[in-house]
Amino acid sequence: MQALARWVMRGTPQAAMVALIAALIPWLFWLSAAVAALVTLRRGLGPGLPVVIAAALPAGWWWVQGDAVPLASVLLVTLMATILRARMRWGETLIAGMLVCVVLVQSGIFLPPGGAGPLLEQVRQNSADVDAMLTELSAQGVSSEQLAGMLIGGVTGLVVLLAAVACLALARSWQAGLYNPGGFRDEFHALRLSTKELLLLVGVGVVGVLVSMPMATMLAWIPLLVAGIALVHGWIGLKGMSGFWLVGFYVLLLTTWPTILVVLLLAVVDTFADFRARLAGNHR
């Protein structure tokens, strides 16, 4: 992948061609988004605009076909790359991406053509249990179509935000590999939310509950999760532990909810305690 990044950065035509082709191929939109982010991180939004457009045009075609994920991912990761380049703070970048994703979910662009109704009806026909559950909810005054739309939009928004964060991290690692070897590792290991950033996330979560926007509450913990993952990476790096510990960590993270909760809690405490600074001080 590093060889591809090196070739892409030789010129705008190469970068635009890779972004265009990758965006055309189903499930390769992440590569297109990462290329757009790499050029934006290195050269800025203005010089990188042709590459972003090259990625956005095929992604826009997929949106017309009913799949908004590629276009939303390309635009979101470009925005985040622009902010990261300007501010050099991952916390601000992640929060900005999260807020934009909340707006996208609330706008309904992630709903399938025709809304959630047709898909909901199909699910009810294929599952008697789901049909019974939705019938019971309807009897209690809950709109099953609204609930389904909220669920579809929220899950899709979550996928888009996670994909954008992953693409941005990939682009940043490419950039470091080409121009600052080891820089991404140091930058990611140092990722830690400030008190103001943590309070802002808590505020978004509370507002989401108060105004009946559960998707805002759900998406608000993504920056915190990334900070927690960075904490684990930094801790293992400072301890000089084997990479197998990271493999085990990700297996637990992807398979058990308690691990996610522990990581979130550690990220909250780290905002005030700064575990890595304490550990680094003990190693002196």
Predicted local distance difference test score (pLDDT) of residue 189 = 92
pLDDT band at 145 (very low <50, low <70, confident <90, very high): low
Cα distance between residue 156 and residue 57, in whole Å:
21
Mean residue pLDDT of the chain comes to 88
Cα distance between residue 262 and residue 86, in whole Å:
32
Identify the residue with better confidence: 137 or 196: 196
Least confidently predicted of 11-25, 114-128, 240-254? 114-128
Three-state SS sequence of 54-99: HHHHHHHHHHHCCCCHHHHHHHHHHHHHHHHHHHCCHHHHHHHHHH
Predicted local distance difference test score (pLDDT) of residue 253 = 93
Predicted local distance difference test score (pLDDT) of residue 27 = 87
Cα→Cα distances 105→17, 23, 156, 206, Å: 30, 22, 8, 17
Task: Please say if the pLDDT value at position 131 is more than 90.
Answer: no
Instruction: Count CB neighbours of 6 within 10 A.
Output: 12
Predicted local distance difference test score (pLDDT) of residue 42 = 95
**Residue of 264, 250, 227, 208 whose CA lies nearest to 90:** 227
Share of residues in the chain with pLDDT > 70 (%):
86
Cα distance between residue 188 and residue 169, in whole Å:
9
pTM: 0.91
Predicted local distance difference test score (pLDDT) of residue 179 = 95
Write the single-letter amino acid at 59: A
Identify the residue with better confidence: 112 or 213: 213
Cα distance between residue 227 and residue 225, in whole Å:
5
Q: pLDDT of 50-97, one tens digit each?
A: 999 999 999 999 999 888 999 999 999 999 999 999 999 999 999 999
